[in-house]
Amino acid sequence: MRSFTKGTGRTLIRGAMVLTIMLGAAQAQAQQEEDERSQDEKLLWEETLVAAKEGSSVAMCDLGELIVRGKEAQRGLKVAAKWFGKAAEQDALCGLLRMAEFHRRGRGVEENVALSDSFFARALPQVSTLARGGDIQMQIQLAKMHHKALGTPEDLELAALWYRNAATLLEPLVKAGDIDAHKKLANILIIGVGVDRDVVRAGKLYEAAATAGDRAGQFLAGRMFFTGKANHPVDHERGFYWLFRAAEADHPRSQAYIGAAFAQGLGVEPDPVEAVKWLQLAIDRGVGAARPELKELSQDITEKQLQQGKDLAAEWIPIFDRGLAKSS
């Protein structure tokens, strides 16, 4: 057996100590950077709010997006709908499309298909112009509107044309590592209109976005693996992994899935208290589908467990705000 001298041992110890110090410094630096980002985002909300109150439709939509896609989910979808609605009153495209979507799904507003169609119809001229000008997102939007008869008659040939055009433009962006392009192309591959349907590749594209830290990518990848969306192979543990990461970053729909996972023991050991916590967080952020899940769960657990879960939800802090909470 090889023997070490005392000098060698001291060198190894010193090396380990240096490595520990370096790792600690790196973690501290990363936390500081995250804290600074969170502070910047809170300042962004306040500045955007001022501009929105002064009548800027762009700022109104930005406020809504900070709730829907950003780190202001705790404000709820009703608040987002209020600002998108104000933008729609000015015929701002972002507001028209969001209100059309919200009324279609009953998100933050009443579900009203006729009203949804009216918003889509008002948006159609602007969407068409931008799509013909090469805007990929608007090409996808126009394809979807023709595909699903959203504010315009169904036309599968036009839908296929615009999905195909968008997919062609997205491929080089995916190869270049564009995260949004990964998600958009995955969506088109799942739909399979104008392009060959490829659910497995779509899952890989979502997971690539998730691995890059994209919250929406984490949700999309997690949902696909967790639910077997579009007949994708089910992997509850893998789905839970990605959904949990998105939920920790305050993604409301992911929180609802995580609550259901804890309630049913899918991809994780069942835990009724954690289930209540995550379902309550989703409800507080406007995910109506979590309500019946929590109601059903509450019938099978003790009052103490229900209250513990709700208390944890009230105390919960998103992962991006935890450094700020510790330092305050």
What is the sign, positive or negative, of the torsion defined by CA atoms of 251, 257, 260, 264? negative
Query: What is residue 7's predicted lDDT score, i.e. its pLDDT?
Result: 55
Backbone angles phi, psi at 156, to 5 degrees: -70, -30
Overall pTM > 0.85: no
Query: What is residue 197's predicted lDDT score, i.e. its pLDDT?
Result: 96
Query: What is residue 323's predicted lDDT score, i.e. its pLDDT?
Result: 63
Q: What residues have CB less than 8 Å from 62, skipping those under 6 apart?
A: 48, 52
Residue of 142, 163, 139 whose CA lies nearest to 152: 142
Residue of 204, 230, 206 whose CA lies nearest to 216: 206
Ranges of residues in the chain with a pLDDT under 50 are: 1-5, 23, 26-37
The total of other beta-carbon atoms located within 10 Å of residue 241's CB is 18
Query: What is residue 67's predicted lDDT score, i.e. its pLDDT?
Result: 87
User: What's the pLDDT tens digit per position in 226-263?
Assistant: 999 989 999 999 999 999 999 999 999 999 999 999 99
Task: State the virtual CA torsion across 124, 107, 253, 83 in degrees, nearest 10.
Answer: 80
Asked whether 310 and 276 are in contact (CB, 8 A), the reply is: yes
Structure tokens at 136: 């990929």
111 three-class SS? coil
Residue of 254, 242, 319, 325 whose CA lies nearest to 285: 254
Domains of the chain by residue range? 39-111, 198-320
DSSP summary character for residue 234: P
Task: Find where tokens 């500081």 sit.
Answer: 32
User: What's the pLDDT tens digit per position in 136-159?
Assistant: 999 999 999 999 999 999 999 999
In angstroms, the CA 160 to CA 233 distance is 26
Query: What is residue 76's predicted lDDT score, i.e. its pLDDT?
Result: 84
- In 54-178, alpha helices (H): 57-68, 77-89, 93-105, 113-132, 136-148, 156-175
Angle at the Cα of 278 (from 63 to 213), degrees rounded to 5?
60
In angstroms, the CA 263 to CA 253 distance is 15
DSSP summary character for residue 72: -
CATH class of 198-320: mainly alpha
Q: What residues have CB less than 8 Å from 6, skipping those under 6 apart?
A: none
Q: Measure CA of the first residue to CA of the last residue in the chain; give whole Å.
A: 53
